[in-house]
Amino acid sequence: MPLDKSLIVDLPAFAGLSGEDADAVLAPARSSRFAKNTEVFSQDEEARQFFLLLSGYIRVVRTTPEGEQMIARYINEGELFGIAVAMGRTTYPASAIAAVDCVVLAWPNGAWQDLQSRVPGFGANAYQTIGERLQETQSRVMDMSTRQVEQRIAGAVLRLVQQSGRETEEGIEIDFPISRQDIAEMTGSTLHTVSRLMSAWEEEGIVRSGRQKVTVTDPHALMLVAENRKGK
């Protein structure tokens, strides 16, 4: 059974796509499921495909030769990822791991040209995505240069709830399981420091957190922490 075009027509990357073109775009694509904690692709593996996340959350991880890891970003539903082809790369620069059970659409690299010509604004959207990730990564370098650990961690948690938050009665919760270690790997810190700070924030009523769960109950207060102006 062919993939249904309703999967993609309302995504920003495919804006302005006509019905028959949508079918043609989906023809070379395959959809697959990835169970939680399985790899969609692996760092340094030859890049043969690019991907669109239909449902779930993907963690993008870079590993040093010495085996230390860093979480480059999380991918949300509807986002492109693994687009090495758009950067003229032959290998993936990082691994992509399902943070929860995921459904993914995969195209062979050869379809890139066709998508660009068939979908108005597809190329521009993809390159804008890369540009945004470059900006974001540079901001992260600045953060690591100029801000202390507490401000960085507060900023990272804020970004997570903004990009991947889900409203609950207690506040905004990060919509996928995330450990202290994960937050440490996003901020260049350690799970110990993250744990200490989150405990302190819980004392102050800014967050509520538990096993692989983080809920921000007072985003404004957390912003003040991120800016190092915490009412002191």
Task: Enumerate binding residues for a copy of itself (CB under 8 A).
Answer: 62, 64, 66, 68, 70, 72, 86-89, 93-94, 124-125, 127-128, 130-135, 137-138, 140-142, 144-146, 185, 188
Of residues 47 and 174, the one with the C-beta less far from DNA: 174
Among 192, 204, 227, 228, interactor with DNA by CB under 7 A: 192
> Which lies closer to DNA via its Cβ, residue 36 or residue 118?
36
Nearer to DNA, 5 or 59 (CB): 59
Token readout for 221 is 């207060």
Nearer to DNA, 211 or 220 (CB): 211
CA distance 148 to 155: 11
From the list 3, 9, 70, 149, which residue makes contact with DNA (rule: CB under 7 A)? Answer: 149
Question: For residue 145, what are its two tokens?
Answer: 């240069």
Examine residue 24 and tell whether it contacts DNA (CB under 7 A).
Answer: no
95 sits near DNA (criterion: CB under 7 A)? no
Q: Comparing C-alpha atoms, which of 13, 164, 188, 209 is closest to residue 74?
A: 164
Place of tokens 């989906």: 26
> 202 to 221, contacts with DNA by CB under 7 A?
202, 209-212
By CB under 7 A, residue 191 contacts DNA: yes
Pairing type for strands 58-63 and 95-98 reads antiparallel
- Work out whether the CA dihedral 189, 195, 200, 205 comes out positive or negative: positive
Q: Residues 19, 64, 141, 148: which binds DNA (CB under 7 A)?
A: 148
Closest distance of CB 40 from DNA, Å? 19
Q: Which of 53, 52, 54, 47 is nearest to 109 (CA)?
A: 47
Instruction: Answer with the entry of DNA, a copy of itself, none that 180 interacts with (C-beta below 5 to 8 A by kind).
Output: DNA
Least spacing, CB of residue 42 vs DNA, in Å:
19
Which residue, among 172, 156, 185, 163, has the nearest Cα to 214 in the 3D structure? 172
Say which entry of DNA, a copy of itself, none residue 9 contacts (CB below 5 to 8 A, set by partner kind).
Answer: none
With the C-alpha atoms ordered 49, 54, 56, 59, is the resulting torsion angle positive or negative?
A: positive
As given in the structure block, the two tokens for residue 52 are 């669109």
In whole angstroms, how close is the CB of 75 to a copy of itself at the nearest point? 15
- Residue 86 CA neighbour count, 13 Å, CB half: 20
Which of 190, 210, 188 is closest to 199 using CA atoms? 210
Binding site for DNA (CB under 7 A): 148-150, 179-181, 188-193, 195-196, 198-199, 202, 209-212
